[in-house]
Amino acid sequence: MLDVLRAEIDQCDSILAEALGRRFLAAARMAAYKKECGMAVYQPEREAAVLNKLAANLKNQIYGAEIQELYQHIFQLSRRVQSRQVFSSNIVLIGFMGSGKTTLGRHLAKISGFTFYDVDRMIEQQTGQSIPNIFSMHGEKYFRAREREVIERLSTVEQAIISCGGGVVIEDANVTCLKQRGKLIWLKAEPATLLARLRHQHDRPLLKDKSLADIKSLLQERLRLYSAAADYEVTTDGKSISAIGDAILGLPFV
């Protein structure tokens, strides 16, 4: 009996593998068409319609919830297949603290299907300490060394959205590593916008108790570095995450 059930499962797996292969191939062809027509890879209305129809069809299916969960993952993989067809580079977000790199990075990862990496969070995981604790206990030099290690690890990843700390451009080696497989997008914002976003955050050791004048001063020191490192510049003042994401995915990546 067990052999019979295993044979049935193997047959189902074979059918699924062949069907998914055809689905992803169709998704890749669709991405090529979207690129040619200047259309967005991620079309949430279409996904929602398909999932709603699926839910209706599975209403009386005992494993309906599991099948819907599987389709959620299939959609994510399809976005990755399509994004790979459109974007040959990682998307690397740089910019001053408070420019929205982490929030935007998560948004871009969702709509592209690419993997999201947050450099500061990776440093915290590597050291077992928060960023403020690293600065207070070990100093900025120690932090930059850990940051450099993480950037070196990320130089080999593909199909990625990478959110960098505000000072990543201080070291030329970081920029060189990130450019190996990625396009660097500078998220620009006015000092007043940055201050408003950072006012209630307590994990920014270089900005602790800093005023608007302090932000302007530190930002001025880095403007040249951001400009030299960036492949593209995107202004974020007064724009929603969705609008900024659309602007980035509309850039002429090669």
**89, 102, 110, 161, 196 from 242: Cα distances, Å:** 21, 14, 11, 16, 20
Q: Residue 22 pLDDT more than 60?
A: yes
Q: Give 192-237 as a 3 state SS string.
A: HHHHHHHCCCCCCHHHCCCCHHHHHHHHHHHHHHHHHHCCEEEECC
Q: Where in the chain is the domain with CATH 3.40.50.300?
A: 90-249
Percent of the chain predicted with pLDDT > 70: 94
Q: What is the pTM of this model?
A: 0.78
Q: Where in the chain is the domain with CATH 1.20.59.10?
A: 2-86
pLDDT-based confidence at 206, cuts 50/70/90? low
Q: List the strands of the sheet with 115-118, edge to edge.
A: 115-118, 160-163, 90-94, 182-188, 232-235
Query: Span 2-86: which CATH code?
Result: 1.20.59.10
Query: Span 90-249: which CATH code?
Result: 3.40.50.300
**119-123 mean pLDDT:** 96
Residue with tokens 């490192």: 229
**50-78 mean pLDDT:** 90
Question: How far apart (Å, rounded) are the C-alpha atoms in residues 59 and 232?
Answer: 47
Q: Residue 205 pLDDT more than 70?
A: no
Across the chain, mean pLDDT equals 89
> What pLDDT does 201 receive?
61
In terms of DSSP H, where are the helices of 113-190? Answer: 119-127, 131-138, 140-154, 172-179
What sign results for the dihedral spanned by CA atoms 147, 98, 170, 188? positive
Q: Residue 207 pLDDT more than 60?
A: no
Q: Residue 47 pLDDT more than 80?
A: yes
